[in-house]
Amino acid sequence: MEIYQLEAFIAVSETGNLTRAAQMMNISQSALSSQIKALERELGVGLFIRQPRGMQLSRVGEKMISEARAVVQASLQMKQKAMDLHTRISGSLNIGINTDPKFLQVSDISKRMTEQMPGVSLSYIESRTFETSQMLRQEKIDVGFHYGRIQEDSIFSLTLSMVDICVVIPIGMAKHMEHERIETIATLPWVWTRHGCPFHLEFQNRLRGKNLKLNPVTEAVEENIVKELVKSGTGLALMRKDEALELVREGAAIIWNGFEMKILLGIACLEKRQSEKIISGFLNALKEKYKIS
Amino acid sequence: MEIYQLEAFIAVSETGNLTRAAQMMNISQSALSSQIKALERELGVGLFIRQPRGMQLSRVGEKMISEARAVVQASLQMKQKAMDLHTRISGSLNIGINTDPKFLQVSDISKRMTEQMPGVSLSYIESRTFETSQMLRQEKIDVGFHYGRIQEDSIFSLTLSMVDICVVIPIGMAKHMEHERIETIATLPWVWTRHGCPFHLEFQNRLRGKNLKLNPVTEAVEENIVKELVKSGTGLALMRKDEALELVREGAAIIWNGFEMKILLGIACLEKRQSEKIISGFLNALKEKYKIS
DNA sequence: TAGCGTTACGTAGGCCGTAACAATC
DNA sequence: GATTGTTACGGCCTACGTAACGCTA
């Protein structure tokens, strides 16, 4: 028993005529006849009385038609629900943020979204770049900020801007280091991260070109911790330039002149889910903010 | 979107595991995977999050699962209803009667049925033998008494007994007629029926063998009318022997000795519907009454 | 490596449409 | 003869199972 058979059942019961019902459903009379016959056979009851005039509901058929309608009705509701989940603009959106909320200007994003899609409630969830694609797939987040490119086919990503990255040297190690060659810099103690932070991946790529290896001393995952460790003179570190300049202003560190890097800031979502109204609305809001076509 | 896909959706959501769900449903993992994929594609939403552990409902899936359950639930109810209409012993039964209710002992039948199937309400509807099969097909009656054999494939019939039929001669025409030859009898005025009454069909068959034709004078459909017409001396008639004997007792007619005929009394229903509980129960009650194996 | 879901591919069942058929009015 | 539903038959789609694959822990 399948839904298409029940739809056939209903259509024939309404027209009382196999030919016209078949036209309505854009199939042949023959096919429709088979569908009805198969349904009757499976249920073990005669649904129609075949008369020269056409098909008339049997008494059993009259009792079954409401049940059939209930099934088809429920299936239509299910389809409708699926449509709603696509197109509705009320609901929630989990946003993965990979860095300082202040830097991402989260409050500005919230403001734009509450203007454009008032029904949507936003949640911000911490998501390191290397976790982003996994969290998207697991639907722990619906969209996620990230550094660098994401190569996976199943994930769509929009480039928002380029971020300057630089090397900071704690003030205690800074004497004459500002213009030092990289070979020396590499041997100094570094504050590092274990896992695929894009800053470090990219930096390592550049070092590998010169056959150099860093000397990591301390590991830290969170940016604020890195910042504190630099302040305390533990070691050199990679850092967004705006953060580095803060440290410079505080007199806690200097920026090494021998290195410059730009890394892209992007927003990602599942390829499949690009078309969902809430997600596409969010992406559009970011496009406006970052002035992307 | 079909019911088997929704059943797959539910099964996978419950096990959280495609392999086990496939085993439960006795299909291959591959087939089940395709079913889910097709459903997701048609609805345009991702129902599951594919994890190394297995299949976990997505947030959209969680919202859809109740709708899917509603559809499957409704379909099960429909199947159940079909079963009920087969097996239930409460409901109504329309019984076609082709002759005198007293002769059929309708009251005795009613008694047996109310004992054996208390929930069934019986309706008796007049149905001439020649109308019986049409009325069965149109479900105006569910079972019908009839004379003679019914040759149609779609109709099942049970022989109940053999009924004696004879020719009655009104007392006014009866002088020396009791032992008259058929050639003379045929020329007398007859009370006749226009349409296929099995008595007359069978009688005509016999006459045809002798190349004789009757002389019909008056037409009547209803047996009681025939009886009255015989009483009033209008003409000869075919009649059940028990009725004829009544007329003889009243001194209103005599029975012609030159003819004897037995015709079967049967009960018919649609071949398809033999297995329905109410109908088979009714047939069994009649089998007991008429002592048929 | 073990367990999971996905993909590839050949097969087979069944659903479809055309057309001939049967039945009724 | 017109209109109805049924049956026969051939084509094609698609759902299926087997098996190889990719992924993650």
Which of the given ranges, A174-183, B199-208, B274-283, has the highest pLDDT on average?
B274-283
Which residues have C-beta within 8 Å of that of residue B157, sequence separation ≥ 6? B146, B149, B150, B266, B267, B268, B269
A203 DSSP assignment: H
Is the pLDDT reported for residue B158 higher than 80?
yes
Mean pLDDT of chain B: 88
Residue B140 is given by DSSP the state: S
Strands B143-147 and B261-270 turn out to be antiparallel
Model confidence at B195: pLDDT above 70: no
Which percentage of chain B shows pLDDT scores above 90? 48
Series of mean pLDDT values for 10-residue runs along chain A (293 residues) = 94 92 90 93 90 87 94 95 83 90 91 89 88 86 91 88 93 79 83 76 77 75 85 90 93 89 92 87 93 86
Instruction: Report the CATH architecture of B163-264.
Output: 3-Layer(aba) Sandwich (3.40)
Beta partners for residue B97, in sequence order: B126
- How buried is B277 (Cβ within 10 angstroms: 0-12 exposed, 13-18 middle, 19+ buried)? middle
A46 neighbourhood in chain B, CB within 8 Å: 270, 272-273
For residue B194, pLDDT beyond 70: no
Chain B CB within 8 Å of residue A74 CB: yes
Is the distance from CB of B282 to CB of B93 less than 8 angstroms? Answer: yes
> Computed from CA positions of residues A166, A171, A177, A179, in that sequence, does the dihedral angle turn out positive or negative?
positive
CA distances from B135 to B36, B155, B248 (A): 48, 11, 35
How far off is chain B from A153, nearest CA to CA, in Å?
Answer: 16
Can you give the residue ranges of every domain in chain B?
Answer: 3-85, 91-161+266-289, 163-264
pLDDT at A47: 92
Is A105 within 7 A of strand C by CB distance?
Answer: no
Whole-number CA gyration radius for chain A: 32
Q: Is A10 on the interface with B (CB under 8 A)?
A: no
Which is nearest to B46 in space by CA: A181, A80, A272, A143?
A272
Nearest nt (C1') to B20 (CA)?
A: C4
Task: Give B186's contacts (C-beta < 8 A, 6+ positions apart).
Answer: B207, B212, B213, B214, B215
Measure the CA–CA gap between B112 and B120, rounded to whole angstroms: 11
Mean pLDDT in residue range B238-267: 91
Is A3-85 a domain of CATH 1.10.10.10? Answer: yes
Strand C contacted by B53 CB (< 7 A)? yes
Q: Is the CB of A52 under 7 A from strand C?
A: yes
Percent helix / strand / coil, chain B, rounded to 5: 50, 25, 25
> Residue A195 has what pLDDT?
63
Cα–Cα distance list, B188 to A191, B10, B210, B233 (Å): 130, 80, 17, 12
Nucleotide D4, nearest residue via CA and C1': A52
* B 38-57 residues, CB < 7 A, strand D: 38, 52
Chain C footprint bases within 7 A of protein beta carbons: 3-8, 15-19, 23-25
What angle (nearest 5°) sits at the alpha carbon of residue B173, between those of residues B167 and B174?
65
Distance CA A41, CA A35 (A): 10
With a CB cutoff of 8 Å and minimum separation 6, the contacts of B116 are B281, B284, B285
Instruction: Give ∠ CA A158-A163-A164 in degrees, rounded to 5.
Output: 160
**Is the C-beta atom of A135 closer than 7 angstroms to strand D?**
no
Q: How far is CA A97 from CA A111, A130, A198, A264, B4, in A?
A: 17, 12, 15, 14, 41
- Alpha-carbon torsion B202, B208, B210, B215, what sign? positive
**Per DSSP, what are the bridge partners of residue B174?**
none
Residue whose pair of structure tokens reads 């919230």 in the numeric block: A110
Distance from CA of A49 to the nearest CA of B (A): 6
Integer angstrom CA distances of residue B272 from A50, A100, A139, B124, B276: 14, 76, 54, 21, 9
Q: What is the pLDDT of residue B208?
A: 75
- pTM (two decimals): 0.76
Judge whether A132 and A96 are in contact, CB under 8 Å: yes
Report yes or no: B125 at the A interface, CB cutoff 8 Å: no
* Residue B224: pLDDT over 70: yes
Which among A230, A130, A238 is positioned nearest to A172, based on CA atoms?
Answer: A230
- Furthest CA-CA distance within chain B: 105
Q: Phi then psi for A219, rounded to 5 degrees?
A: -110, 140
Instruction: State in Å, rounded, how far the first CA of chain A is from the last one.
Output: 51
Distance CA B216, CA B252 (A): 20
Q: Tell me if chain B has a CB within 8 Å of the CB of A58.
A: yes
CA B47 to chain CA centroid, nearest Å? 49
The Cα of A40 is separated from the nearest Cα of chain B by a number of Å equal to 10
Same fold, B3-85 and B91-161+266-289: no
Q: How far is CA A81 from the centre of its chain?
A: 21
Q: Which residues pair with A179 in a beta bridge?
A: none
Q: Please, are residues B18 and B12 in contact by the beta-carbon 8 Å criterion?
A: yes
Distance of CA B89 to the CA centre of its chain: 16
Instruction: Determine the distance between B64 (CA) and C10 (C1') in angstroms.
Output: 35
Nucleotides of D under 7 A from a protein CB: 3-8, 15-19, 23-25
Q: Report d(CA B207, CA A14) in Å as an integer.
A: 51
Residues B24-65 have pLDDT tens digits of 899 989 999 999 999 999 998 889 988 888 899 998 899 999
The pLDDT of residue A257: 87
Which residues are within 8 A (CB) of B135 and not within 5 positions of it... i.e. 6 or more apart? B96, B125, B127, B141, B144
Token output for A147: 């550094």
Which class would CATH give A91-161+266-289?
alpha beta
